């Protein structure tokens, strides 16, 4: 099965803020889903493909982006017009030694940061839920629900990459 590349994805606006609680559940559940993947492996097993990121790098990448998601959520909630851009080269992920850390340590740190993001999003007022800011790469306005969906889809994109790694013959 061929997956659509991340930068080829489109993210249409979500009109119904009533979907927000379900999307927040997805965001909140990502650390548990990561733990589920690693229950099948030895605690510190390092799965590294010939090309691309290891399982640890994949988790580290999710952790690396939490400050961006948090900052963007605050921007939307505060009524800013434009979201800060991401580093599309993923410099932090490439330069950080995520492979030198345990999977459980990475997941624990990710869970801590993700809890902060979910708490912030859950604290949004009705007015803040209607605010929108322009996404720098997509050029489209994003409300908080759109950002939450974008992040959930990004999580799933990397969880699918991890599944592919785990399915490779040893």
Classify the phi-psi angles of 90: left when phi > 0, otherwise alpha if psi is within -120 to 50, otherwise beta. Answer: left
| Nearest alpha-carbon partner for 133 in 85, 72, 71 | 72
Rounded CA gap, 62 and 22, in Å?
20
When divided into structural domains, the chain yields a total of 1
Rounded CA gap, 53 and 146, in Å?
27
Between 132 and 10, residue with greater pLDDT = 132
Confirm whether 3 is domain-assigned.
Answer: no
| Nearest alpha-carbon partner for 162 in 40, 28, 9, 8 | 40
Residue 43 is predicted with a pLDDT of: 43
Rounded CA gap, 63 and 81, in Å?
26
Confirm whether 6 is domain-assigned.
Answer: no
Confirm whether 2 is domain-assigned.
Answer: no
Q: Poorest-confidence range of 14-18, 80-84, 104-108, 161-165?
A: 161-165
Is 35 buried (19+), middle (13-18) or exposed (0-12) by CB count in 10 A?
A: middle
> 33 CB contacts (<8 Å, ≥6 apart)?
159
Confirm whether 79 is domain-assigned.
Answer: yes
Confirm whether 138 is domain-assigned.
Answer: yes
Q: Poorest-confidence range of 37-41, 137-141, 157-161?
A: 37-41
Confirm whether 7 is domain-assigned.
Answer: no
Residue 53 C-beta-side C-alpha neighbours within 13 Å: 23
pLDDT score of 76 more than 90: yes
Confirm whether 119 is domain-assigned.
Answer: yes
The residue segments making up the domain with residue 25 are 16-167
Residue 122 is predicted with a pLDDT of: 98
Average the pLDDT over 117-130 and give the result: 97
Confirm whether 152 is domain-assigned.
Answer: yes
> Which CATH number characterizes residue 43's domain?
1.20.120.450
pLDDT score of 45 more than 60: no
């Amino acid at each position: 099965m061929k997956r659509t590349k991340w930068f080829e994805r489109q993210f249409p606006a979500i009109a119904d803020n009533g979907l927000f609680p379900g999307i927040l559940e997805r965001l909140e559940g990502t650390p548990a889903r990561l733990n589920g993947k690693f229950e099948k492996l030895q605690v510190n097993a390092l799965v590294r493909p010939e090309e691309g990121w290891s399982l640890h790098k994949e988790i580290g990448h999710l952790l690396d982006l939490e400050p961006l998601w948090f900052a963007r959520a605050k921007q939307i909630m505060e009524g800013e017009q434009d979201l800060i851009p991401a580093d599309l080269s993923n410099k932090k992920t490439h330069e950080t030694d995520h492979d030198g850390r345990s999977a459980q340590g990475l997941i624990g740190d990710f869970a801590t940061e993700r809890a902060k993001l979910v708490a912030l999003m859950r604290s949004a007022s009705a007015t803040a839920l209607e605010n929108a800011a322009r996404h720098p790469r997509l050029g489209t306005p994003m409300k908080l629900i759109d950002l939450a969906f974008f992040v959930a889809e990004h999580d799933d994109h990397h969880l699918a990459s991890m599944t592919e790694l785990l399915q490779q013959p040893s």
